[in-house]
Amino acid sequence: MFGSLVQFNTEGLEFVMTAFFVVIFIEQWMKEKKHHSALVGLGISALSLMIFGGSDFIIPAMIAILGVLTVLENL
């Protein structure tokens, strides 16, 4: 109800969020010795993007990444 009363300029936010996630990815890549989780995340995200399209891929990708990393952790 109150969310519609708040005006927020989101111009340029897409670039900032993309840059933010790239920095987080690079930091994780440099910190870890094994890159399995990063590669799983990239691969499943790319596959999900091809299957579901640009506007609907995030939720299926996150669920799939969670599932695959859970299975790999328990092996």
pLDDT tens-place string over residues 21-71: 999 999 999 999 999 999 999 999 999 999 999 999 999 999 999 999 999
Instruction: Judge whether residue 11 has pLDDT over 90.
Output: no
Q: What pTM did the predictor assign?
A: 0.74
68, 43 contact by CB (below 8 A): no
Instruction: Judge whether residue 1 has pLDDT over 70.
Output: no
Reading phi first (left if > 0) and then psi (alpha if -120 to 50, else beta), residue 12 is in left
